Amino acid sequence: MGIRSGATVADAIGIRRRKRHRNEELNNIERELDKVQDLGSTEDDVAMWRRSDGTFKSSFSSSETWEQIRHGGQIKEWHKGVWFSGATSKYSFLLWLATHNRLTTGYRMIAWNRGVIPVSFANNR
């Protein structure tokens, strides 16, 4: 289409020549660019953020974004024993990994790399 990858919509409208393409998707893009050009808007683009209720606003909220992308689940009964204000972060994280069976144990590393000789076998030689 002759439009550089980092071009804005205004750049795409200003520098392109209308062509007929073999690819229907490119023809659809050409039609959409024609529609935007016909609008003739001179206003600057504004980034909009979608809220959880489906509306768009210009202000960003990290807490709302987190709530939209996280996968909610049941609250586990053990969470207060792991995540509490006096806990050491490192140990809380290791305990959390252990409860999810995600610790990097020797047997897990052996499964990742078959060429590794387990320590228990190496000491018996």
> 42 Cβ partners below 8 Å, 6+ apart?
none
* pLDDT tens figures, 14-69: 766 677 778 888 888 888 877 877 676 667 778 888 888 889 998 998 988 888 88
Please check whether residue 98 is in contact with residue 104, taking contact to mean a CB–CB distance below 8 angstroms.
Answer: no
Please give the tally of structural domains in the chain. 2
Whether residue 117 lies inside any domain: the answer is yes
| 10 burial level (CB within 10 Å; 0-12, 13-18, 19+) | middle
Whether residue 57 lies inside any domain: the answer is no
43 and 3 within one domain: yes
Question: Which residues constitute the domain of residue 17?
Answer: 1-47
This model's pTM is above 0.85 = no
What is the pLDDT, as a whole number, of residue 42? 66
Whether residue 7 lies inside any domain: the answer is yes
What is the pLDDT, as a whole number, of residue 41? 62
Arithmetic mean of pLDDT over the chain: 81
Whether residue 106 lies inside any domain: the answer is yes
Whether residue 1 lies inside any domain: the answer is yes
Whether residue 56 lies inside any domain: the answer is no
43 and 1 within one domain: yes
Whether residue 5 lies inside any domain: the answer is yes
